[in-house]
């Protein structure tokens, strides 16, 4: 699977699923993922990357947290930002399909707030 670094403003300013603008006033939801053993994104730490999903013709933006960060300490190798629970549920279902394919993701964690 190929990954491409994208500008932080592009990834952090939009919902990773529907691409709706996220502003300072917007409610934001997060989804963490654990990567499959053997998938190494260490060269992308601290950056946002675009990932082409295998199960759909769709690309999503993911933040790769730094080693030692709170997100990493909680077991997340990647973080997705979402504008709503509905977008979170759609992304979660899609990523669970990716987990089943065994390509990149090992676990998906979405907590409703």
pLDDT tens digit sequence for 56-106: 788 899 999 999 999 999 999 999 999 999 999 999 999 988 888 776 777
Give, in degrees to the nearest 5, the angle at Cα 82 between 42 and 76.
30
82, 30, 45, 98: CA torsion to nearest 10: -80
100: left (phi over 0), alpha (psi -120 to 50) or beta: alpha
Q: How far is CA 56 from the centre of its chain?
A: 15
pLDDT tens digit sequence for 9-51: 778 889 999 999 988 888 899 999 999 888 889 999 999 999 8
Tell me, what's the pLDDT at 12? Answer: 83
Q: What is the pTM of this model?
A: 0.86
Tell me, what's the pLDDT at 104? Answer: 77
């Amino acid at each position: 699977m190929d990954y491409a670094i994208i500008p932080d403003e592009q990834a952090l300013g939009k919902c990773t699923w529907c691409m709706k603008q996220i502003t300072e006033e917007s409610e934001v939801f997060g989804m963490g993922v654990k990567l499959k053993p053997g998938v190494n994104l260490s060269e992308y730490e601290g950056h946002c990357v675009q990932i082409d999903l295998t199960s759909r013709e769709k690309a999503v933006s993911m933040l790769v947290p730094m080693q030692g960060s709170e997100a990493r300490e909680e077991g997340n190798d990647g973080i997705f930002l979402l504008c709503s629970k509905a977008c979170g549920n759609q992304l979660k279902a899609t990523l669970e399909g990716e987990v089943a394919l065994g390509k990149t993701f090992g676990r998906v964690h979405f907590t409703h707030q």
